[in-house]
Chains A and B, each alone.
Chain A
Amino acid sequence: MKYRIILIGLLSIIFAFQSCNKIEEPYLIETGEIQAKKTILIEEFTGHQCPNCPRGAKAIDDIVSVYGDRVVIVAVHANFNGRTTAAFPAEYRTEVGNTIDDKFKMEHSGLPKCMVNRIGYPEDKHKIQPEELAGKVSEVISEDPLMDIKVIGNYDEASRKTNFVVNITLLEEMQRKLNLSVFITESNIVSPQKNNEPDFGPTPQIDDYVHNYVLRGSVNGAWGDIICIGNLNPAGTNFSRPYQYTLDPDWNENNCSLVAFVYDPDTSEVLQAAEIKVK
């Protein structure tokens, strides 16, 4: 009996001292600039009626400041949290945004949430919280790119038309289905945003909030164009797609961007992304 108790006591002491990590200051570690090769797509699901969403936007800003043009952001204003009222008259919802949200059920699980290259779908692991974003991005961005995307275009101010070509070059042999989507986003739009976090601005709303990366529409629908039906293609294979798109008169062309990305329609995973300014 005595030995049993001594053994258990010993075990407990070992357990108590083994299973802890006391962190001493400094609590933050300098990371410096993080190198990356792959350009990844982050779709941020948000809404001006969502009081938690400035937290999501802050996480996006942090990611952009670290990774720069290695990340491409699209802010999808969801159906309910993006609803318009007298106090929130700006309409940021789009048909394409609603279609994407219907499929990925992002708003359903509470906002703000993000998708990183749509990874984790359909196992329901694609809904990333703002705090998890940096970890997820660092995990994905270190992967080797499978292809290169270049967008070359021009903009005609008189007609508000942009003509552009998306060139995709495979960097390794590949046998999978590929779709190409091209979205239009607009940044620097000032309008009210609900807020419950004093760190990000006045509560319960920020009147002059700057909305960035707002999804305005799609050049080729919610699910894009098929560029490869799943046949085997060697490295170096090039796909080229020309497009034309007329900007809405309410959008500021100086703040609009074209976002092109290639994804696998079987898994929904985005494989590579690119962004250029319309003007």
Chain B
Amino acid sequence: MTKKQQKIILLIAISLVFINPIHSFAQGFAGPSRVSGNFQFDGQLYRSDTLIGAPEVNEQMLMNNFANLLFTKGDFTAGLRFEYYLNPIKGYDTKPTGIGMPYRFMAYKTGDFEVTAGSFYEQFGNGLILRAYEDWNLGVDNFLDGLRVKFNPAEGIALKGVYGKQRYFWDHSPGIVRGIDADFSINDLVNSMKESSVRIFAGAGMVSKYQQDELIIPKPGYRYNLPENVPAYSGRLNLSSSNFSFISEYAYKMNDPSSINGFIYKPGQSLYLSATYFKPGLSVMASAKHTDNMSYKSRRTESTTLDINFLPPLTKQHTYNLSAMYPYATQPNGEVAFQGQIIYTIKRRTKIGGNYGTFITANYAIVNSLNRKAIDNDTPIGEKGTLGYKAALFDMGDEKYFRDLNIEISRRMNRDLKVTLQYLNLLYNIDVIEGHPGEPNVKANIGIADIQYRLAPTKTLRFEYQHLLTKQDKGDWAMALVEYTIAPKWSFSISDSYNYGNPESDQKRHYYNATMGYTHHSSRIALAWGRQREGIVCVGGVCRYVPASSGLTITITSSF
């Protein structure tokens, strides 16, 4: 630990002693004890299937599993999580193979003061400078292990301080992450605004990462002069009223040469703006995002995990099988994105709206590269060991990363029949998003019909037909699904995705699936048998590669 770090810890410790009277820790244990938890088992039984490129798996079966346990007594909370990867399911990182208990914490809350020691998740604002979160299905877990203090010194002010190391599978990242954040509710702080119908929230945060200097050679005879402490700052302002909301955040990151940005010293910045107008039956949303060199990791040379921040996506997340085939992955090195969305409800009991009303959602998103300009006549754009390039706010480059125009119409035809229709027009830069050099942009038209029919009060039959047309990548697809649900316990489905338009005739494959789910109280068992196509799965612009596989998957979830 450097002297500088020791000084910071000492200052925080001294201030905590002054801010919070020690005697307050004696309160808060009086409440009732409670133990709760949840559990998930994901198992996959593999079958070699050379037709779709699913390789043989030596273990035959693989599993990912966790169990959370939470103990609460009054204002005291303690928790832990066991994780098992025996061995990790294909498509997940193999580093955490084995059994462990990486997550454990205890927290104490007294009045306006809260302390967490151990592992914790946290987010500052929209996450542009700090988001420690977990997504089991993506295999993302970057919790901080250390100390967190939350403090509300006055009504309308919420402060947070974090200090720790990020999780790196069973280990910790080499870097240390420190951060402070403040949220202000202006209406509570300004007397004249207390009764205002417009609510205003402002916030600001700062994060600093420390990683020891290391020898990285850009060219013979030279090494990088690396910053050991890299700070990032952000400020935000949110407004909301009964028919309007506005969210904004600006983040700035100081010089942070890394593998992801090609070891350039340019500062990073990001601006996120989103405005929504709504009234009964109508909602209009417009948002914009500028991202420039905002990858912020607690290890310079990390290429996949150890993200300290999160760059929220500005594209709609699709859930149907074929509409989710080409999901967008946020490009932290630079992108300019715009999104607009209108949700309109045609009134019920009208000629067009029908007896139950008709819901229409139209959404358009476009993401392009950043227009990068050379810093001078002699330095190529992105040259390592330089400032890299210049880029102005919202200066869109010519390269298209993603474009999505989609319209969804949903209408209940009568008491038992509901129909949802969706059309998507996509442009997907497979070279940038999936790293397939030289492959042309995928232009796809997708149509989806989802018809739900209630046979009896607890029995529902659902039919999906999806069609994807594209001349690029793997060509055209058709998919059909039939699902039968007996609420609240049982569900069954069969489906087939057929890649009938694959340009290679021996690759025109069927990806059939049969699933079954059973729910009992708070537990659920789901079985799925069939083929999984190769692709990427994304949540919030963060993606995971999923290899082709064939066999049986078992998911068991339970909570108490």
Name A residues whose Cβ lies closer than 8 Å to a Cβ of B. Answer: 1, 3-5, 7-8, 11-12, 14-16, 18-23, 26-33, 51, 62-63, 65-66, 105, 108-110, 124, 129, 131-132, 134-135, 138-139, 194-196, 203-204
Taking a contact as CB atoms closer than 8 A, the residue among B94, B159, B385, B435 that contacts A8 in the complex is B159
Residue numbers in A under 8 Å from B220 (CB-CB): 62, 65-66
Q: Who on chain B is nearest to A134 by CB?
A: B217
Cross-chain contact B93 with A109 (CB below 8 angstroms): yes
Cross-chain contact A66 with B154 (CB below 8 angstroms): no
Task: Across the A-B interface, give the 10 residue pairs with the lowest CB-CB distance, nearest first.
Answer: A19-B208, A204-B438, A196-B437, A135-B214, A21-B227, A204-B437, A131-B301, A134-B217, A20-B231, A65-B220
- Stretch from B6-14, B132-140, B317-325, B350-358 contacting the other chain: B6-14
Residue numbers in A under 8 Å from B520 (CB-CB): none
Pairs across A and B, CB under 8 Å, 9 listed: A5-B154, A5-B157, A8-B15, A19-B4, A22-B254, A31-B221, A51-B435, A66-B221, A134-B217
Q: Does B308 contact A (CB under 8 A)?
A: no
Cross-chain contact A31 with B223 (CB below 8 angstroms): yes
Residue numbers in B under 8 Å from A28 (CB-CB): 218-219, 222-225, 385
Extra contacts, 13 of them, besides A11-B180, A66-B217, A129-B259 (Cβ < 8 A), are A7-B18, A16-B206, A16-B233, A18-B4, A20-B227, A23-B226, A27-B225, A27-B385, A66-B220, A110-B304, A131-B300, A134-B215, A204-B437
Q: Does B459 contact A (CB under 8 A)?
A: no
Query: A27-B225, A108-B94 are contacts. A19–B210 as well, Cβ < 8 Å?
Result: yes
Cross-chain contact A21 with B229 (CB below 8 angstroms): yes
Q: Who on chain B is nearest to A195 by CB?
A: B437
Cross-chain contact B178 with A15 (CB below 8 angstroms): yes
Residue numbers in B under 8 Å from A30 (CB-CB): 221-222
Q: Does B334 contact A (CB under 8 A)?
A: no
A-B contact count (CB 8 A): 139
**Interchain nearest-CB distance for A86 vs B (Å):** 13
| Interface residues as binary, B227-252 with A (CB distance below 8 Å gives 1, 0 otherwise) | 11111010000000000000000000
Q: Does B255 contact A (CB under 8 A)?
A: yes
Query: A8-B153, A62-B219, A131-B301 are contacts. A105–B227 as well, Cβ < 8 Å?
Result: no
| Interface residues as binary, B176-218 with A (CB distance below 8 Å gives 1, 0 otherwise) | 0010101000000000000000000000001010100011111
Q: Who on chain B is nearest to A12 by CB?
A: B180
Cross-chain contact A11 with B435 (CB below 8 angstroms): no
Query: A19-B208, A27-B385, A105-B94 are contacts. A32–B221 as well, Cβ < 8 Å?
Result: yes
Q: Does B19 contact A (CB under 8 A)?
A: yes
**Interchain nearest-CB distance for B90 vs A (Å):** 10
Q: Does B68 contact A (CB under 8 A)?
A: no
Cross-chain contact A5 with B153 (CB below 8 angstroms): yes
Q: Does B126 contact A (CB under 8 A)?
A: no
Residue numbers in A under 8 Å from B95 (CB-CB): 109, 124
Interface size of B by CB at 8 A reads: 59
C-alpha gap A12/B207 in the complex (Å): 11
Q: Does B265 contact A (CB under 8 A)?
A: yes
Q: Does B386 contact A (CB under 8 A)?
A: yes
Q: Does B340 contact A (CB under 8 A)?
A: no
Query: A66-B220, A134-B217, A134-B223 are contacts. A27–B93 as well, Cβ < 8 Å?
Result: no
Q: Does B175 contact A (CB under 8 A)?
A: no
C-alpha gap A136/B225 in the complex (Å): 17
Give the contacts of B74-94 with A (CB-CB under 8 A): 93-94
C-alpha gap A23/B264 in the complex (Å): 11
Q: Who on chain A is nearest to B299 by CB?
A: A132
Residue numbers in B under 8 Å from A7 (CB-CB): 15, 18-19
Q: Who on chain A is nearest to B97 by CB?
A: A124
**Interchain nearest-CB distance for A243 vs B (Å):** 34
Query: A22-B227, A131-B300 are contacts. A51–B221 as well, Cβ < 8 Å?
Result: no
Cross-chain contact B94 with A109 (CB below 8 angstroms): yes
**Interchain nearest-CB distance for B11 vs A (Å):** 6
**Interchain nearest-CB distance for A186 vs B (Å):** 24
C-alpha gap A110/B435 in the complex (Å): 13
Q: Does B257 contact A (CB under 8 A)?
A: yes
Query: A4-B153, A129-B259 are contacts. A19–B218 as well, Cβ < 8 Å?
Result: no
Cross-chain contact A18 with B7 (CB below 8 angstroms): yes
Q: Does B303 contact A (CB under 8 A)?
A: yes
**Interchain nearest-CB distance for B7 vs A (Å):** 7
